[in-house]
Amino acid sequence: MTPRNPLDLRKFVAPEFICGSGALQLAGRYAHNFGMKQVLLVTDPGVRAAGWAGAVGESLTEAGVSFTVFDSVSVNPRSRQVMSGMEVYRSEECNGIVAVGGGSAMDCAKGIGIASSNMRDILTFEGVDRVPVPAPPLICIPTTAGSSADVSQFAIITDEERKRKIAIISKTLVPDISLLDPEPLTTMSRELTLDTGMDALCHAIEAYVSNASSPMTDMHALEAIRLIHDALPAVILEPEDLNLRFSTLLASLHAGLAFSNASLGAVHAMAHSLGGAYDLAHGRCNALLLEHVIPANYEAASEQYDRIGAIIGPVQGERTPPAEGIAAFRRSLGITGTLASVGVGEDAIQTLARRAYADPCMVTNPRRLTCEDIERIYAYAL
Ligand SMILES: [Fe+2]
C-alpha cells in the first residue's frame, strides 16, 4: 500500500459532549439553552419501557420545555419511520430534537432533522455531503455503547422498498451535544451489550486501517480497541457495574471519534448490505464478518493490523493475525454463530456483494476489493 503521510491534511469534526454520572439529567438545561420550546423526543418502545425516555422527559419539563414523544422506531430504522417522525415534528411545530436510545433511535432522529429542514424524502440524501440545509438542534443521549451515532456524522436508514440500507454522511448530522451517562446502559440485555460492543470494536479497527486515517483518529481508535478488549468481557459478568459500563461508553466514544472522521471499510459495507436484506442486528453482522475481512485486507495495512493483534492477542493459527485473535475474542464472549446460522443462504451472496461493493464505506477500505473478493469473504463467513 502507499505509505501514509501524517502531514496529509485532515479535518476532525466532533460535537460537544458531557460524560459522567447524571449527564442524562442535563437534557432539560441544554434544550433550554438551545432555545428549544417544543421538542420531538425520539426514542423506541424498549427504552421507553426501561424508563429512560421518561427520565429525559422529566428533565425537559423541569426546564420548562414541552415535548412530544415519537417512539415508532424499530431496529434498523426505516425510511417510512423517519418520514412519519417528520410529520409529527411539523404538526407539533417542534423546534428541536432530543434522541434517547441506541443507534436506531439516534439515526432516526438525525433523519427526521434533515428531512424536516430540507422538506425532502430521507432517501434523497444518500451518499457524502448531500444535505444542503442543516438540521434543527439535536441532543443525543445514548443508551447503548457502540453505535456512536451521538458523535458521528453518519446516519444509516433502511429503504424498506428495496430492502437495503442507505448511508448518509454529512457534517450536518453531527449532534449539537451528546450526554454520555453510564446508568442507562445498565438495562441493556447481554446480547445487546455484546452486539453493540462488537460494533464499537469494528468501528475502531476499520477507522485504524482506513485509508483516510490520521494521527488524531489513530489515537482514538487504539484507545477504543484497548478499552473494549478489557471492559467488554468484564461487563458481561458485572452488568450493573457503573465503572465498567462507563469504560464501554468511553470506548464507544473513542471509536466514534475515530470512525466519524476516518470512515469505515469492508466490514461495515458488507454488514449494511446484510442488515438491509435480512433485518439482522447491525453489531451481530459486524461480529460475524470482521475476522473474515482481515485476511483479505492484511497485506494492505499489515503494520496497523499487527498493532491491533498486539492488543487483542494474536493467536497462532491458520488465519492471518490478528484474525485468529479476534475470532478467539468473539468466541470467548459467547458469539458463536455464522451467517448461515442467522439465515443467510449461499444464493444471496452475489446480490449482497454487489450492494456492499457500492456502499460508501467501501471507499476507505485499505484494499480495493472486487465484487468477487467480497463474494469470497461472504462465502467464508457462511
Ligand atoms: Fe457500526
Three-class SS of 150-187: CCCCEEEEEECCCCEEEEEECHHHCCCEEEECCHHHHH
Let me know if 36 is exposed, middle or buried by CB neighbors in 10 A (0-12, 13-18, 19+): buried
Say how far apart CA 26 and CA 59 lie, in whole Å: 7
Q: What is the mean pLDDT of the chain?
A: 95
pLDDT of residue 3: 65
* pLDDT band, very low/low/confident/very high, at 2 (cuts 50, 70, 90): low
Say how far apart CA 257 and CA 224 lie, in whole Å: 10
* Ligand 1 mean position, distance from CA 335 (Å): 17
Say how far apart CA 253 and CA 286 lie, in whole Å: 18
pLDDT of residue 314: 73
* Ligand 1 mean position, distance from CA 272 (Å): 9
* Ligand 1 mean position, distance from CA 5 (Å): 27
* Ligand 1 mean position, distance from CA 200 (Å): 7
* Ligand 1 mean position, distance from CA 283 (Å): 6
CB 257 within 8 A of CB 247: no
pLDDT of residue 322: 86
* Ligand 1 mean position, distance from CA 201 (Å): 9
| CA distances to 121, 190, 243 from 39, in Å | 21, 32, 31
* Ligand 1 mean position, distance from CA 58 (Å): 31
Residues lying with their CB under 5 A of ligand 1, a single-atom ion: 199
Domain boundaries in the chain?
16-185, 190-381
**Lowest pLDDT segment from 53-57, 173-177, 197-201, 309-313:** 309-313
* Ligand 1 mean position, distance from CA 143 (Å): 15
177-230 pLDDT, tens digit each: 999 999 999 999 999 999 999 999 999 999 999 999 999 999 999 999 999 999
* Ligand 1 mean position, distance from CA 145 (Å): 11
Closest CA to 26 of 245, 236, 180, 253: 180
Tell me which architecture the domain covering 16-185 has in CATH: 3-Layer(aba) Sandwich (3.40)
What topology does CATH give the domain 190-381? Dehydroquinate synthase-like, alpha domain (1.20.1090)
256-283 pLDDT, tens digit each: 999 999 999 999 999 999 999 998 999 9
* Ligand 1 mean position, distance from CA 369 (Å): 20
* Ligand 1 mean position, distance from CA 184 (Å): 20
